[in-house]
Amino acid sequence: MHDFEKCPDRTHTDSIKWSAAPEGVLPMWVADMDIPVAEPVQEALRERVAHPCFGYPDFEQKELKNLVAAHYHKLYDTEVDPDWIVWVPSVMPGVTLAVRLAQGSFTYFVPMYNHIREVTKEAGLPMTEVPMKKTGTRFTMDFTAMEEAVTPETKTFILCNPHNPVGRCYSKKELLEAAAFCEKHDLLLVSDEIHCELVLEGRHTPAFAVNEWTKMHSITLGSQGKIGNIPGLPFGFAIIPNAELRAQFAKGLLGTMACFDVLTLAAYRKLYDGSCDAWKEDLREHLRRNRDIVEKWVQDTEGITMPHNEATYLAFLDCRALVLQSPAKFFLKEAKVMLSDGEIYGDPQSVRLNYGCPESQLREALNRMDEALKKYKSGC
Ligand SMILES: Cc1ncc(COP(=O)(O)O)c(C=O)c1O
């Protein structure tokens, strides 16, 4: 079992998570983990840095495409032709480009990852946000509501699977429903699957593998940014089985791929060639334990609820019963814990807590939040 309890001091490492936190504040916000990357990745990076030449790499990276394809086969029992893979600078530029391809307006469910909510500005295209259905604490996609929101101008549906911030890993049945909806309205299915290796329960199905229709009408985006904990080494890929769509997408990328980076390539090879599989398995086990700690804390804390996380290391805490003007500001000021403000995902009465960290750090954050809530509830 790998040990995830030690993380070196991350201040002064260009980490926005830590540098944005005022003195004495524990940062539990942005989605990277306070966990060192796997040893094979560290070794590969050290080895590459030791060689003092940093010339242009081959931009095709056929071998890496083969590794990604084999990895999809191994994990999801699905065939990927390496030629379906198109490299992207990172996942979000890929999502924005995919949305631009279809033009027209686009739609997705809220709460939703904040940068997907920004795509409307970045792509210069209108969007419609449709609330997810909430049954108890469980979030599901609501295609009855979306049916009412869709118009002839709607051209794209963005899926986030696993879903940030509500931690869902959608079932095949739910994905078939999404596929049927897209087919009925002739929508391009753009699926952000950056968290797909962070499934804690259930089984991930890539969008292109849902059925024959999605195979020809989808763009699936992924990377090692989340599971490998290397978002500071930006990179990613789109899987596009439809050759015409792929050619359009690749054309849209022309000029941007001069940012291919040799250190990132060294890390990616290790994350896809199987060298880090045991580390990833242990990491998921560590995250399951941390999730259970958060869930237990939520059960014991009056006024807070959360959906059960099937995936990701992000807990979306519903604080509306606490009747606070801003739960995020409250926890920052009174508990000295920095959380992501639910407002950016479309719910100002929630906060997102990142439990991708040592258990001791998580417990420290929860204790601080507990103390602040005790004082608040007692009226001090
Ligand atoms: C759902 C989702 N998509 C995309 C990203 C960011 O991707 P990238 O940094 O590769 O652009 C994140 C980061 O938190 C995310 O949660």
Regarding the beta carbon of 61 and ligand 1, being less than 6 Å apart is answered: no
Cα 216 to Cα 149: distance, rounded to the nearest angstrom: 24
The average pLDDT across 2-19 equals: 94
How much distance in Å is there from the Cα of 93 to the middle of ligand 1? 10
Q: What pLDDT, in 10s, does the model give residues 55-91?
A: 989 989 999 999 999 999 999 999 999 999 999 999 9
How much distance in Å is there from the Cα of 223 to the middle of ligand 1? 9
Say what the pLDDT of residue 253 is.
87
Nearest CA to ligand 1 atom 12: 194
Regarding the beta carbon of 113 and ligand 1, being less than 6 Å apart is answered: yes
Regarding the beta carbon of 223 and ligand 1, being less than 6 Å apart is answered: yes
- 223 Cα nearest atom in ligand 1: 10
Residue 83 is encoded by which pair of tokens? 């030629």
Pocket test for ligand 1, best of 29, 30, 194, 224 (most atoms within 8 A of CB): 194
Say what the pLDDT of residue 256 is.
73
How much distance in Å is there from the Cα of 194 to the middle of ligand 1? 6
Shared-domain flag, residues 183 and 85: yes
Shared-domain flag, residues 99 and 206: yes
Residue 86, amino acid: V
Which residue, 8, 20, 38, is CA-closest to 224? Answer: 38
Nearest CA to ligand 1 atom 8: 91
Helices (H), the chain: 16-19, 39-50, 62-76, 91-102, 114-117, 119-123, 143-149, 172-185, 212-217, 243-253, 262-272, 277-300, 327-330, 359-378
Q: How far is CA 64 from CA 75, 232, 258, 267, 275, in A?
A: 16, 19, 17, 11, 14
Q: Identify whether 6 is part of a domain.
A: no
Pocket test for ligand 1, best of 88, 114, 115 (most atoms within 8 A of CB): 115
The last residue of a domain, from among 238, 272, 306: 272
Which residue, 39, 9, 89, 11, is CA-closest to 229? Answer: 39
Residue 201 is encoded by which pair of tokens? 């329960």
Regarding the beta carbon of 194 and ligand 1, being less than 6 Å apart is answered: yes
- 90 Cα nearest atom in ligand 1: 10
Say what the pLDDT of residue 48 is.
98
The last residue of a domain, from among 211, 244, 272: 272
Shared-domain flag, residues 74 and 208: yes
Regarding the beta carbon of 31 and ligand 1, being less than 6 Å apart is answered: yes
The average pLDDT across 236-240 equals: 97
Say what the pLDDT of residue 1 is.
86
Asked whether the CA dihedral 291, 297, 298, 304 is positive or negative, the reply is: negative
Angle between helical axes of 39-50 and 262-272 (0-180°, round to 10) = 150
Regarding the beta carbon of 157 and ligand 1, being less than 6 Å apart is answered: no
Residue 210, amino acid: V
- Is 258's pLDDT higher than 60? no
Q: Identify whether 135 is part of a domain.
A: yes
Shared-domain flag, residues 260 and 283: no
As for how many domains the chain has, the answer is 2
Shared-domain flag, residues 285 and 260: no
- 225 Cα nearest atom in ligand 1: 10
- Residue 21 domain boundaries: 16-39+277-375
The residue assigned the tokens 């390496």 is 82
How much distance in Å is there from the Cα of 78 to the middle of ligand 1? 23
Say what the pLDDT of residue 257 is.
63
Regarding the beta carbon of 91 and ligand 1, being less than 6 Å apart is answered: yes
Look at the pTM and tell me if it is higher than 0.85. Answer: yes
How much distance in Å is there from the Cα of 171 to the middle of ligand 1? 21
Q: What is the CATH number of the domain that holds 157?
A: 3.40.640.10
Contact 226, 31 (CB under 8 A): yes
Shared-domain flag, residues 215 and 330: no
Q: What pLDDT, in 10s, does the model give residues 313-363?
A: 999 999 999 999 999 999 999 999 999 999 999 999 999 999 999 999 999
Residue 212 is encoded by which pair of tokens? 């024959």
Say what the pLDDT of residue 233 is.
97
Shared-domain flag, residues 203 and 176: yes
Cα 80 to Cα 246: distance, rounded to the nearest angstrom: 14
Average pLDDT of the chain? 96
The average pLDDT across 223-248 equals: 97
Sheet holding 85-88, edge to edge: 85-88, 236-239, 218-222, 188-192, 154-160, 105-110, 127-131
Shared-domain flag, residues 20 and 80: no
Which residue, 1, 38, 33, is CA-closest to 275? Answer: 38
How much distance in Å is there from the Cα of 193 to the middle of ligand 1? 9
The average pLDDT across 138-156 equals: 97
Shared-domain flag, residues 24 and 61: no
Q: Identify whether 84 is part of a domain.
A: yes
Say what the pLDDT of residue 263 is.
97
Label residue 254 by pLDDT band (50, 70, 90): confident
Shared-domain flag, residues 249 and 121: yes
- 93 Cα nearest atom in ligand 1: 11
Shared-domain flag, residues 209 and 288: no
Q: Identify whether 48 is part of a domain.
A: no
Say what the pLDDT of residue 259 is.
64
How much distance in Å is there from the Cα of 159 to the middle of ligand 1? 13
Shared-domain flag, residues 140 and 261: yes
The average pLDDT across 161-168 equals: 98
Q: Identify whether 21 is part of a domain.
A: yes
Q: Identify whether 9 is part of a domain.
A: no
The last residue of a domain, from among 229, 249, 272: 272
Give the burial string for 262-299 (b: 16+ CB within 10 Å, else e). eebbbbbbbbbbebbeebbeebbebbeebbeebeebbe
Angle between helical axes of 243-253 and 91-102 (0-180°, round to 10) = 120
Q: Identify whether 380 is part of a domain.
A: no
Cα 32 to Cα 232: distance, rounded to the nearest angstrom: 9
How much distance in Å is there from the Cα of 138 to the middle of ligand 1? 23
Residue 322 is encoded by which pair of tokens? 């606490």
